[in-house]
Amino acid sequence: MRFTAFVVVMFFSEVHSQQQCSDSLGTCSGSRASLMQVKSLSQKLQASSVQGTSNRAQTLAGFQKYTQELVDKYMAADPDAVEGSAVDRHSSDSSQSEEVMQAIGIIKEYLEQLYTDLLVYHNQDKEAAQYCAAVPDRCDEAHFNSSVVKAIETIETHVNQKKSLHATCRVELAGVCAQPACPEYHQYRKTDGDALLPLCAKSGDLAHQAAFLGTNELHHFESCLQPTKQWLDPLYHKYTNCRDHAENEETASGTCSTQQGEFEAANCHMTTWTEIHCANHANCLEHGKTQCEGSLSLGESGDCIQIEQNWKARQADNETAMRILCLLNVLTNIDDNAAAALQACHGDNSTYAEENKFWVVPCAVTVSASTPEKCQAGVKTTDQCNDLWLIQNYPDLASRPAGSDNDCYNAGKEPGMYFGTCEGCGSNVQLDFNHEHVVNEYQPQL
C-alpha cells in the first residue's frame, strides 16, 4: 500500500532521535510516535471522551497536529522518491508500518466514539432547552389550567348577572322617583281650597256625634258629614298615593342598594381571585426565566447560557473531528487527486456549515406571549371604586349627592339614576380556592 510505505518513512524518519515525547500523539517533533505512545493511546482515549470539553479539545488538538504533520510530509515529499524509498523500508519495517496504521485506526475509532458521545450530550441539552421552552406551559398548568379558567369564567358570569340586575333596578327606581305623587299631595294640602277643613268642622259640629235625637247639636253634626267627606276623600287619596310611593321608593331603593352591594362584593371576589392566580402565574414565569436565562440584577447565570457554551464547544469539536477524519481518509486512500482532496478537507467557512447547524440548540423562555388572556388587562383589586372603574361599571348612573336620604334624590330637579356609596375590596376578603366549589356556588341564575 503506497500510503503505508509513505507513513513508515515519515513516522520513523527520526526514530533514533533522543528527544522525549509524551503519551499524546502530536506532541513529538517531526511527528515521531514511539511504540509506547501507540499502546498508551488506546488506554487513555476512552477516559478523555468522558472527562469534559477541555480534555476533548486537548485530545483533538493532538490528533489535529499529528494528522497535519502527516499531510505536510506528504505534500512536501517527492511521491516517486518516497515510494521508492518506502518500498525499501517496507521490506524491513513492516511491524512499524502496522503500528502506524494501528495508531490511525485508534484515532478513527476515537472520532467515531466522540461523535456518539457528542450526540448524547447534544440530546441532553436539547431536552434541557425544551424544558425551558415549556416554562409557559408548565406555569399555565400549575396556575391557569382549565379548571382555573372555568372557575373565573363562571364567576364572571355571576358578576355580570349581578351587574345587570343592579343596572335594571336603578332604571326601575328612576321611574318610581320620577312619579310626582308626593309633590302633588303636598301642593294640594297646602294651597288648594278644597283641601281646607270645612267651617262646620272647624266650629266643632263634628264633636256632637253623641247628641240626642231631635236636638240642634245632632242636626249640626249630621249636616257637617257631607262636606267633611268631600274634603277628606281627595285629600286622603293623595295622601295614600304619597305614602305608598314613599314606601315603594324605600323598597326599591333598598333593593337597588342590596343589589349594588352584591355586585361589588362578587366583583371584588372575582378580581381578588383572578389577581392572585395572575400573580402566581407571573412569578412562575419569572422564576423559570431566571433559571433558564439568568438574571443580571442577581448576577445569576442561567441554564441557557451553559447550553449555548456546550453546543458551541461540541460544534467546534465535531468540525475539528470531521477535518481530521477527512484528512486521514484521503491519506489512507492515496490517488492522483490526493493533493486536491487534502486541500478540500480544510475547506472554508461554508464547508461544514450545514453540519454545524445541526449542533445549534436554541434556548429561551418566551414570556411576553405567555400571559393568560385573563391577566392581560392588569386586573387589580385596588382599582375597584376608583373613577375609571365607576365610569366602566356605572356608565349611566351618577353618584348620589352626599347628605341625600335616599336614591331618589332630585333636589327640585328632574330625578336621575344614582348609585350608593361604592365599597372597595378590603383586606378581609374571604376566598374559597376550591375550583369546584366556586363553579357550583356561582352558577348563573335562570
What is the per-residue pLDDT for 222? Answer: 93
The angle subtended at Cα 171 by Cα 170 and Cα 177, nearest 5°, is 85
Tell me the H-state helices in 92-145: 94-133, 135-143
Q: Which amino acid is at 1?
A: M
For residue 25, what are the contacts with CB-CB under 8 A and spacing of at least 6?
33, 37, 41, 62, 63, 65, 66, 103, 107
What is the per-residue pLDDT for 317? Answer: 94
Task: Kindly report, residue by residue over 308-318, the tens digit of the pLDDT.
Answer: 999 999 999 99
What is the per-residue pLDDT for 16? Answer: 31
What is the largest distance, in Å, between two alpha-carbon atoms of the chain? 175
Q: Which amino acid is at 98?
A: E
Q: Which backbone phi and psi does 204 adopt, to 5 degrees?
A: 95, 10
What is the per-residue pLDDT for 115? Answer: 94
Residue-by-residue DSSP string for 10-72: HHTTTTT------SSTT-SGGG---HHHHHHHHHHHHHHHTS-HHHHHHHHHHHHHHHHHHHH
What is the per-residue pLDDT for 441? Answer: 43
For residue 20, what are the contacts with CB-CB under 8 A and spacing of at least 6?
none
Q: Is 256 exposed, middle or buried (0-12, 13-18, 19+ CB in 10 A)?
A: buried
Dihedral (C-alpha) 267, 271, 277, 283: value to the nearest 10 degrees? Answer: 180
446 residues of the chain, pLDDT tens digit each = 344 333 333 433 333 333 345 444 444 544 444 445 544 555 555 555 555 667 888 889 888 888 888 888 888 864 543 443 222 333 345 555 677 678 888 899 999 999 999 999 999 999 999 999 999 989 999 888 999 989 889 999 999 999 999 888 888 877 776 666 577 788 888 889 898 999 999 999 999 989 899 899 999 999 999 999 999 999 999 888 877 766 666 666 778 888 899 999 999 988 988 888 988 998 998 888 888 988 766 667 889 999 999 999 999 999 999 999 999 988 888 788 888 888 889 887 788 999 999 999 999 887 766 788 888 777 788 889 999 999 999 888 877 766 555 556 544 445 567 788 888 887 555 544 444 434 444 443 33
Task: Kindly report, residue by residue over 390-444, the tens digit of the pLDDT.
Answer: 999 988 887 776 655 555 654 444 556 778 888 888 755 554 444 443 444 444 3
Task: Kindly report, residue by residue over 205-228, the tens digit of the pLDDT.
Answer: 999 989 899 899 999 999 999 999
